[in-house]
Structure 1
Amino acid sequence: MNTFLRHCISYVACKYCILLFQATRDLICSITASDKVLIVARESGAVHRYSLPNVALEQKYGLSCRAFHMSLNCNSSRLAIIDLSGVLTFLDLETSYDTGQQIIGEQLKFERKDVWDMKWANDNPDLFAMMEKTRMYVFRNLDPEEPIQTSGYICNFEDLEIKSVLLDELLKDPEHPNKDYIINFEIRSLRDSRALIEKVGIEDASQFIEDNPHPRLWRLLAEAALQKLDLQTAEQAFVRCKDYQGIEFVKRLGNLQSEPMKQAEVSAYFGRFEEAERMYLDMDRRDLAISLRIKLGDWFRVLQLLRTGSGDSDDALLEQAYNAIGDYFADRQKWLNAVQYYIQGRNQERLAECYYMLEDYDGLEVLANSLPENHKLLPDIARMFVTVGMCEQAVAAFLKCNMPKAAVDACMHLNQWNKAVELAKNHNMKEIGSLLAKYASHLLEKNKTLDAIELYRKANHFLEAAKLLFKIADEEAKKRTKPLRVKKLYVLAALLVEQYHTHVKNTQKGKLKGKQIEATSALAGLLEEDSLLSDNRIIDNAWRGAEAYHFFLLAQRQLYEGYVDAAMRTAIHLRDYEDIIPAVEIYSLLALCACANRAFGTCSKAFIKLESLETLSPEQKQQYEDLALEIFTKHSPKDSRNPRLMSSQNGGEGKLPTCIASGRPITEYQFWMCSVCKHGVQDREISAYSFCPLCHSSTS
């Protein structure tokens, strides 16, 4: 079975191999199939003939040897057999005898020894080549020609030519093959026909080929007749070799009147293009020379020929040549060279592609600006800009081709929501609000709250951004993180509210054109007013959280710097912010500052408040009671100074504004007020600051 498997490798692609493996079990040597016949040698020495594609057994033949290699000729009439000892014999499958309804093939009286390779001709059932030691023999009807000295393996035998490969030389260095290892041999009839044509003439050669017909010989005769412009003989030869294209070529030559023109056409037919071009130019037929080069795809030569001529009729062809050369460089990714030719060929589509591949976006922008409105190339250029994040250029290209929806989509894709909202408003697009909300909810689902805030801010939805930032600040405050961080978050949220107010004012004061725009803006204003009324805490008290933590930090800073009286005054303000800062921290700080300031009355009231808090555990309340007992057994619960401090700073309509720099009430008529947060600072305090103590905006 190993021998069979080794020789079946070439037969694996056959669609009948599965059936063959199922039907045969004792195969020991190679198999060979033609279009209709399958020959199988069995271990018993018998040869079975099957018909394809049904693999039905047709005939059995007996052999007197064990076959090692078998091969059918092109019409399946003869079978060549090489046995294990290297003897070549033939079996004629079509010879039949009447022996009781059984057809038996005949073994021919032909035998060659020391044969190790053979090959039938693909186009002639009587021709085959064989290798005997280091000689190659070609047989026609079992008559040999003179041998050829070679050691190559026969690959193919067709058109009276044998192709062989020097496998021994090839396998010495298989990684570096050489074309010289493939050798083509011509058989004697082809050599003789060529010699007759060259030395005797076409007529005698025609008679020889008539006696030894073969398509290759007729084609050789036709080519020789063409060289001599013997069109009648050439046509007859092309007919005999069934070359339709050759027949048409001969007829076309017959319609030409000029002999030089015929010679030029024949030169082009045989691939002598330089000679044909020279003949065309000598005949002052530059158009034919250009047409020849166009057929060959030699556009560089076409361009040279066009430049040497003159006339306006070549402008279209000149552009075609430029574009073809540009395609040549573009196919080889030489984009810079391609650009030069596409510019001359005015091929804007391919020019845009080259600019994109070269990352020459300035050139791409210039090209987009040079195109007329609604040009078919503008959407493609706009998408190129989108892929590289160039929003402004993409929007300009989309708007130039009247595609505002695509421009808005590009802005949203590139997270330029401010530009998207502006475009949507300018083009009366109503779906931008839903898209904005959808994208923001998508970010919030992924816990990308800061991205959602930035999204709303860029889209001028400052109130929505402020709400999210207030939420973050409240969460940070509950975590009891750094008070300074919480203050910064509240300040940022309040600044967004201020930007919202400014945006609303600018919208209302803007000059509107057209009734529809006025109605749309009025509706937008009403919707924003509804949003304004939806959360009074954010709108009316935007700075309340920032104030609370500002005074909380300021009181502690004053206390540690030794300004105990100022620290106590500032801590007293914190009583108004119990909804933001836990009461236990407010009154603990107040008790500490009052004790340090020896205002034990205020300190006593702070302890009373602490002991009454329901949020404290009994253990914590007991600790405050013990601490109060320890303090007030030594000191009387009375204020040593400012006995009316508590009452003077109580809330009410007549409450004085508080200096955010010192925490003292502002009693002067004139004081500095921040233009952003609208909080005041005493004149003697503001000189020490370059920025607002609360919102950190510039004081200049």
Structure 2
Amino acid sequence: TADGRESGTIQRYSLPTVGIVQKYTLNCCPYQLSLNCNSSRVAIIDLSGVLTFFDLDARVVDSTGQQVIGEQLKLERKDVWDMKWAKDNPDLFAMMEKTRMYVFRNLDPEEPIQTSGYICNFEDLEIKSVLLDEILKNPERPNKDYIINFEIRSLRDSRALIEEVGIEESSQFIEDNPHPRLWRLLAEAALQKLDLQTAEQAFVRCKDYQGIKFVKRLGNLQSESMKQAEVAAYFSRFEEAERMYLNMDRRDLAIGLRIKLGDWFRVLQLLKTGSGDSDDALLEQAHNAIGDYFADRQKWLNAVQYYVQGRNQERLAECYYMLEDYQGLENLANSLPENNKLLPDIAYMFVRVGMCEQAVSAFLKCNRPKDAVDTCVHLNQWNKAVELAKNHNMKEIGSLLARYASHLLEKNKILDAIELYRKANYFFEAANLMFKIADEEAKKRTKPLRVKKLYVLSALLIEQGHKQMQNKQRGKAKGKSSEAASVLAGLLEEDVLSSTNRFADNAWRGAEAYHFFILAQRQLYKGSVDAALKTALHLRDYEDIIPAVEIYSLLALCACANRAFDTCSKAFVKLESLETLSSDQRQQYEDLALEIFTRHCPKNNKKSDLDDVLESGDEKLPICVATGDPILECRFWMCSVCKHCMKAKERNNYDFCPLCHSSA
């Protein structure tokens, strides 16, 4: 580009393809430089549209007597706005002058072509031009007609000579104007007339090795019809070539032609319409290729039909999966032989859609039980995982459960961990976690009914664990030892497994505590103050579960309402001695006790049978879970789940056990 200096000053230009920097004296302000294909000439279009040329190989002497490289040629054109050198001939270039295109050979122009397109490529004696003005009118929807190819005069003349005077006469013209494109044109014309010698010589001159090989192959053929068919195929006249092959009863060559073209529909048609037995392998290949055609276009249902006929089980499985035809996928897995390499892939397809049973079946069929167990774990089918681990003598299931439970606990998903252990029949571990939740809820002073439910669930898990252990020991001892010995062994194993649980001896202790705590309050608000006091007195045995301040506050309230001031006084003494109370809380209890007992003497105004029983410390009497009274009768009802009792007369008032809520 010009740098704005005055005309006649020395400019410096770097020509990349030449690799040197030389000084040239230019009398213009160039904005476009073009170098030909062998870097011998450079074309310059200045700002005023004047086209000039420099011969870079020339050696001239300037006015000072120094020898310089480069000489400006005499050719000069005006009103030029585009120019392009040919890529394969250093003497050819095309330029645009106003609305005409000129092609120059050795600085001699051909007749102009009327066009206003921009030159984008000049190669093989053809110029590709683009009508940018038309494209910019609607750039979102370009038309391929706006790209125009122009043939230069030598190409047009050669084609006309070949058509009019023949191959031999036109070869001299091409010899005088040699170009690979012209020799290729002559070779193709010679092939059309089966002049193999001329075709071979022309292919040699244009350095077309594939064409030379083709001519050699034609020379080895004896049949003229076969040669014509091969030539028709060479020039992409495939329908004509196929017809010739079939007329010669060479269906195999017609099929081979269609295979090369990738036209498998026609291949299948030729295989089915031909006489005799067709090649089974080729028939399967055709079906599979057509199946691939439909699969590439996501037409899975059509692809299935051809994959079935092609017995392509791998792609068939993929199609079933994409169609969500899991029944077909399962049938395919069942039809495969054992240890087939496709079974693991089908199994993982089932895993991805959550179909555990089908995935396990596929994994087991290919002898991969560990993957089957991992699938069950991944899909939370823990019962199935444990069963598989036991059947295949896998010892790592326990550690796997523990690791997954730890993962859930780290994410504070305690209930998920409990459900995990419960489904895997690890009831003692589930109960321990449930007891922890119940204890935490009790410390937060959550609603007593919610805490009771948590303790009931924990106790039910303990009971399930005991039952499972007993059944296990009975199975081990069957036919080996006495029933008493098996029961004893089960009890010993239970003691070992539950030794870390503070509710191991009595799983229902927490549930009992909150049951009586809730029952006493219901009785008190109902107005049954005597029954409330009797029930509240039981709570003194559960200070390790319910905070003592709540137990003795409720006991004091029930005793005061029942006018049992002696019991109320003992409750206040206990409250005032609690170390967990602050000084302000303790002072409030002392003030309240002073206000009550200045008005009432700290002794019971009435004596009940329950007081005598409780004061005697007799703990052998069962307690009615419906009323809180001790059961003195010989006949009573006992729950089959929690083993707690209820008076016979209260039995008709309940459909469920008041403590564990199981069916009565």
TM-score where L is the length of structure 2: 0.91
1:603–1:151 Cα change, 3 Å? closer
1:659–1:294 Cα change, 3 Å? same
Residue of 449, 456, 477 corresponding to 2:421: 456
- Which residue of the partner structure matches residue 677 of structure 1? 642
Residue of 603, 609, 614 corresponding to 1:637: 603
In structure 2, the residue corresponding to 1:690 is in which secondary structure?
A: coil
Q: How does 1:110-189 map to 2 (within 5 A)?
A: 110-189=75-154
2: CA distance, partners of 1:121 / 1:175 = 31
Deviation at 1:122, TM superposition (A): 1.2
2: CA distance, partners of 1:295 / 1:163 = 31
CA contact (8 A) 1:28 1:43 kept: no
1:357–1:627 Cα change, 3 Å? farther
2: CA distance, partners of 1:158 / 1:513 = 95
Q: For 1:544, give the aligned amino acid.
A: R
Instruction: Report which stretch shifted further, 86-95 or 140-149.
Output: 86-95
CA contact (8 A) 1:47 1:63 kept: no
CA contact (8 A) 2:30 2:47 kept: yes
2: CA distance, partners of 1:536 / 1:350 = 56
- Which residue of the partner structure matches residue 441 of structure 2? 476
In structure 2, the residue corresponding to 1:169 is in which secondary structure?
A: helix
Q: For 1:93, give the aligned amino acid.
A: L
Deviations 1:141-176 (A, max 9, x none): 222222211122222111111111122222222222
- Which residue of the partner structure matches residue 23 of structure 1? none
Deviations 1:261-290 (A, max 9, x none): 111111111111111112212222221111
Instruction: Report which stretch shifted further, 676-685 or 613-622.
Output: 613-622
1:159–1:525 Cα change, 3 Å? farther
1:254–1:295 Cα change, 3 Å? same
1: CA distance, partners of 2:492 / 2:93 = 96
- Which residue of the partner structure matches residue 194 of structure 1? 159
Instruction: Report which stretch shifted further, 235-244 or 648-657.
Output: 648-657
Q: Does 1:590 align with 2:552?
A: no
- Which residue of the partner structure matches residue 647 of structure 1? 612
Q: Does 1:255 align with 2:203?
A: no
CA contact (8 A) 2:7 2:26 kept: no
Residue of 498, 504, 507 corresponding to 2:472: 507
Deviations 1:284-335 (A, max 9, x none): 2221111111111111222222221255442211211121122112222222
- Which residue of the partner structure matches residue 327 of structure 1? 292
Q: For 2:45, give the aligned amino acid.
A: I
Deviations 1:469-502 (A, max 9, x none): 1111112112222111110010010011011111
Residue of 648, 652, 659 corresponding to 1:694: 659
Instruction: Report which stretch shifted further, 314-323 or 428-437.
Output: 428-437
Deviation at 1:529, TM superposition (A): 3.9
1:144–1:194 Cα change, 3 Å? same
- Which residue of the partner structure matches residue 623 of structure 1? 591
CA contact (8 A) 1:453 1:465 kept: yes
Deviation at 1:415, TM superposition (A): 2.8
Gaps of 5+ in 2: 481-485
CA contact (8 A) 1:607 1:624 kept: no
Aligned length, in residue pairs: 653
Deviation at 1:663, TM superposition (A): 1.7
- Which residue of the partner structure matches residue 491 of structure 1? 456
1:612–1:66 Cα change, 3 Å? closer
- Which residue of the partner structure matches residue 301 of structure 1? 266
Deviation at 1:657, TM superposition (A): 1.1
- Which residue of the partner structure matches residue 570 of structure 1? 535
CA contact (8 A) 2:7 2:27 kept: no
Deviation at 1:694, TM superposition (A): 0.7
- Which residue of the partner structure matches residue 35 of structure 2? 72
1:178–1:44 Cα change, 3 Å? farther
- Which residue of the partner structure matches residue 441 of structure 1? 406
Deviation at 1:526, TM superposition (A): 10
Deviation at 1:207, TM superposition (A): 1.7
TM-score where L is the length of structure 1: 0.87
CA contact (8 A) 2:428 2:462 kept: yes
Q: For 1:505, give the aligned amino acid.
A: Q
Deviations 1:568-587 (A, max 9, x none): 22222222222222333333
CA contact (8 A) 1:610 1:624 kept: no
Q: For 1:546, give the aligned amino acid.
A: A
CA contact (8 A) 2:288 2:312 kept: yes
CA contact (8 A) 1:27 1:43 kept: no
Q: Does 1:90 align with 2:53?
A: yes
- Which residue of the partner structure matches residue 541 of structure 1? 506
Instruction: Report which stretch shifted further, 675-684 or 222-231.
Output: 675-684
Instruction: Report which stretch shifted further, 350-359 or 690-699.
Output: 350-359
- Which residue of the partner structure matches residue 322 of structure 2? 357
2: CA distance, partners of 1:657 / 1:458 = 34
Gaps of 5+ in 1: 5-25, 30-40, 516-520
CA contact (8 A) 1:374 1:402 kept: yes
1:230–1:147 Cα change, 3 Å? same
2: CA distance, partners of 1:272 / 1:223 = 14
Deviation at 1:97, TM superposition (A): 4.7
Q: For 2:238, give the aligned amino acid.
A: F
Q: For 2:593, give the aligned amino acid.
A: E
Q: Does 1:229 align with 2:214?
A: no
CA contact (8 A) 2:17 2:39 kept: no
1: CA distance, partners of 2:8 / 2:500 = 99
Deviation at 1:424, TM superposition (A): 2.1
In structure 2, the residue corresponding to 1:175 is in which secondary structure?
A: coil
1: CA distance, partners of 2:492 / 2:625 = 35
CA contact (8 A) 1:115 1:130 kept: yes
1:417–1:532 Cα change, 3 Å? same
1:595–1:131 Cα change, 3 Å? closer
Deviation at 1:402, TM superposition (A): 1.1
For the aligned residue pairs, the C-alpha RMSD in angstroms reads 2.9
Q: For 2:294, give the aligned amino acid.
A: F
Deviation at 1:52, TM superposition (A): 5.3
- Which residue of the partner structure matches residue 424 of structure 1? 389
CA contact (8 A) 1:611 1:625 kept: no
Deviation at 1:647, TM superposition (A): 2.9
CA contact (8 A) 2:199 2:215 kept: yes
1:235–1:530 Cα change, 3 Å? farther
- Which residue of the partner structure matches residue 483 of structure 2? none
CA contact (8 A) 1:45 1:67 kept: no
Deviation at 1:342, TM superposition (A): 1.6
In structure 2, the residue corresponding to 1:210 is in which secondary structure?
A: helix
CA contact (8 A) 1:88 1:111 kept: yes
Deviation at 1:693, TM superposition (A): 0.8
